[in-house]
């Protein structure tokens, strides 16, 4: 399969999602601008005091989590394949007078764009399903972590991706360790199910065993 073509298709879809998500109640950009953190309690508890820590956020979308860590004093770099998401993140960073940096690239190519190493590499909620193979991803994380640094991932259980959500009720349709890509086209997004936007996307399922290994 042509992975570059799949990444291009996903990028186009994520570019379109940014405006829809930035206007959604789900992402509540107004609340965020007024000081609300988008981070979950258990992420905050797990990483503790991040002040002055160098934090690399992989697949940062339009930056709300990255900038939430910045507000807590972390020195953040966010990476995402969507140039529209990165532009939006940079605008928010500037508007809020924060000091995060953002880089637009395929997460698998991160080490071609960043040479520094980090205290924390962070990634969360809806990320690995966009990657066909976790080995180059894990290698890149190893390259970007300082010795003794922390890699933190919070992700949905892989069973979530075995369902076809375009039918009601959702139907179990895909394999737990499926090697082949799953292609889907559907209207709306998780952040705005009423949106008329059409998503076209390729995804890959990864078992817990694969993730942990």
- Interface residues with ligand SAM (CB under 6 A) are 7, 10, 14, 59, 61, 64-65, 80-82, 85, 106-107, 124-127, 130
Least distance (Å) between residue 130 CB and ligand SAM? 3
| Residue 142 vs 156, nearer CB to ligand SAM | 156
Q: What residue number has its CB nearest to ligand SAM?
A: 126
CB of 124 to ligand SAM, least distance (A): 5
Of the pair 68, 75, the CB lying nearest ligand SAM is at 68
Name the minimum Å distance from CB 147 to ligand SAM: 25
Q: Which is nearer to ligand SAM, 136 or 175 (CB)?
A: 136
Closest CA to 19 of 196, 155, 171: 196
> Looking at beta carbons only, is 10 or 93 nearer to ligand SAM?
10
32 contacts 51 by C-beta, under 8 angstroms:
no
Nearer to ligand SAM, 64 or 74 (CB): 64
- Minimum CB separation from ligand SAM for residue 192, in Å? 13
* Least distance (Å) between residue 146 CB and ligand SAM: 22
With a CB cutoff of 8 Å and minimum separation 6, the contacts of 29 are 22, 23, 64, 92
The distance of closest approach from Cβ of residue 148 to ligand SAM in the complex, given in angstroms and rounded to an integer, is 25
In the bound state with ligand SAM, the residue whose beta carbon lies nearer, of 42 and 148, is: 42
> What count of other Cβ atoms lies within 10 Å of the Cβ of residue 65?
24
């Amino acid at each position: 399969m042509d992975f570059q073509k799949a990444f291009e298709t996903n990028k186009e879809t994520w570019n379109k999602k940014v405006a829809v998500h930035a206007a959604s109640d789900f992402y509540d950009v107004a609340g965020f601008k007024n000081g609300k953190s988008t981070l979950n309690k258990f992420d905050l508890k797990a990483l503790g005091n991040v002040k002055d820590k160098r934090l690399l956020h992989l697949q940062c979308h339009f930056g709300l989590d990255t900038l939430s860590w910045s507000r807590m004093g972390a020195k953040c770099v966010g990476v995402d394949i969507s140039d529209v998401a990165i532009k939006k993140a940079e605008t928010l960073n500037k508007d809020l007078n924060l000091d995060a940096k953002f880089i637009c690239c395929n997460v698998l190519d991160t080490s071609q764009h960043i040479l520094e190493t980090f205290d924390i590499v962070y990634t969360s909620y809806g990320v690995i399903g966009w990657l066909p193979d976790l080995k180059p991803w894990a290698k890149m994380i190893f390259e970007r972590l300082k010795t003794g640094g922390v890699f933190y991932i919070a992700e949905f259980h892989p069973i979530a991706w075995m369902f076809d959500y375009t039918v009601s009720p959702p139907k179990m349709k895909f394999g737990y360790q499926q090697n082949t890509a799953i292609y889907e086209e559907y209207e709306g997004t998780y952040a705005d199910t009423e949106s008329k936007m059409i998503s076209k996307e390729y995804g890959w399922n990864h078992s817990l065993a694969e993730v942990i290994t």
